């Protein structure tokens, strides 16, 4: 069992749990206040509020810690955005009563830091389109030290009957509890699937196709020989499911529309450790380990392949066969 009283682990669990509860509340009350960022992905009140809340807790626990987050407050400061900022402030204030609009923006913008030797990285809502649809999404937080993920936490409010909280600590395994039962300290260690036959491999496929190549994934399944029904799910929630043995392969191919796309570290860091500590394996499409030491993007990697470990070599051969 991991040490739940370790200050960094405790911060990560507490802040992700609260952020998950916050975004779940926003989802229940309204998802109509979405807008579009420059990269065409939707961002909502919940994205901003979630990042502000986690950043606030990090500031309280570790004032000098570095945070690399996805969001920036520029849009909230723009003319005509007063109502949006007021909504974000209102949701954060449910957890931090002293919240003001100016401090919300300050907390969000702490995530603009450049990666250091030791830093936290946050995706306040991974899978925003899934969030808007009422499907799967995750709050993803990870601690990276000298290029290695040391702690990874995924809060998945729509996974399971009452949402799940998954934590991985390097060398200590991957553990799961429900968000509702968090206070009970009732953690279950999880392991990847033992399936080793390629034809039985269940591919976990996103509903969102913007950053992947759907037709190539079909070719991959054929080359692998997989006849199992794929599992469709957005966000790093897929890593929590894969780590619990409910799937075998996650594939992130590059979309023909975005051939030079580079993965952001917050999209993979927490999920990668959750999978690895459950016995799985993750690499890029060429089998190279993901390199979290070179900034806000995985510039030394191309795409992502995550498996239960037993099927990793077969998956790499299938990728080579289709020229991915």
47 assigned to active site? yes
Do 161 and 184 meet the contact criterion of CB atoms below 8 Å apart? no
CA 156 – CA 178 distance, rounded (Å): 9
Question: In 3D, which of 50, 65, 47, 51 has the Cα closest to residue 8?
Answer: 65
The helix, strand and coil proportions of the chain, stated in percent and rounded to the nearest 5, come to 35, 20, 45
Provide the CA 94 distance to its chain's centre, in angstroms: 24
Phi-psi region of 20 (alpha: psi -120 to 50; beta: other; left: phi over 0): alpha
CA 181 – CA 13 distance, rounded (Å): 13
Provide the CA 202 distance to its chain's centre, in angstroms: 20
Identify the residue whose tokens are 């807008």. 35
64 assigned to active site? no
Do 166 and 243 meet the contact criterion of CB atoms below 8 Å apart? yes
Q: Kindly name the residue from 44, 47, 99, 307 that is annotated as catalytic.
A: 47
Do 223 and 187 meet the contact criterion of CB atoms below 8 Å apart? no
Question: In 3D, which of 65, 47, 56 has the Cα closest to residue 107?
Answer: 56
CA 52 – CA 88 distance, rounded (Å): 9
Helix runs in 119-234, H state only: 128-133, 214-224
Pairing of strands 249-252, 203-205: parallel
Show the tokens assigned to 280. 């799985």
Q: Kindly name the residue from 89, 99, 121, 128 that is annotated as catalytic.
A: 128
Show the tokens assigned to 224. 């692998």
* Active-site amino acid positions: 47, 128
């Amino acid at each position: 069992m991991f040490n739940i009283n370790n200050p960094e682990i405790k911060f990560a669990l507490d802040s992700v749990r609260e952020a998950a509860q916050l975004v779940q509340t926003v989802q229940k009350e309204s998802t109509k206040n979405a807008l579009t960022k420059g990269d065409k992905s939707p961002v909502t009140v919940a994205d901003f509020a979630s990042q502000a809340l986690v950043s606030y807790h990090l500031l309280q626990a570790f004032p000098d810690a570095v945070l690399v987050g996805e969001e920036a407050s520029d849009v909230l400061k723009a003319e005509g955005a007063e109502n949006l900022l007021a909504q974000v402030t209102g949701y954060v204030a449910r957890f931090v009563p002293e919240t003001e609009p100016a401090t919300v923006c300050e907390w969000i913008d702490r995530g603009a830091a450049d990666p250091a030797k030791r830093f936290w990285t946050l995706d306040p809502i991974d899978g925003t389109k899934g969030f808007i649809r009422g499907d799967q999404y995750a709050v993803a937080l990870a601690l990276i030290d000298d290029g290695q993920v040391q702690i990874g936490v995924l809060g998945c409010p729509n996974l399971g009957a009452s949402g799940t909280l998954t934590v991985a600590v390097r060398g200590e395994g991957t553990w799961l509890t429900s968000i509702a039962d968090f206070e009970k300290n009732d953690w279950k260690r999880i392991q990847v699937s033992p399936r080793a036959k390629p034809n039985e491999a269940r591919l976990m496929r996103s509903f969102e196709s913007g950053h992947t190549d759907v037709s190539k994934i079909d070719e991959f399944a054929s080359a692998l020989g997989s006849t199992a029904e794929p599992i469709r799910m957005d966000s790093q929630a897929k890593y929590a499911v894969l780590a619990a043995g409910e799937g075998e392969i996650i594939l992130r191919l590059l979309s023909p529309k975005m051939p030079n796309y580079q993965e952001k570290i917050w999209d993979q860091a927490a999920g990668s450790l959750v999978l690895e500590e459950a016995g799985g394996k993750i690499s890029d499409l060429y089998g190279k380990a993901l390199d979290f030491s070179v900034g806000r993007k995985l510039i030394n990697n191309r795409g992502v392949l995550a498996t239960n470990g037993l099927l990793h070599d077969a998956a790499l051969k299938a990728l080579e066969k289709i020229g991915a």
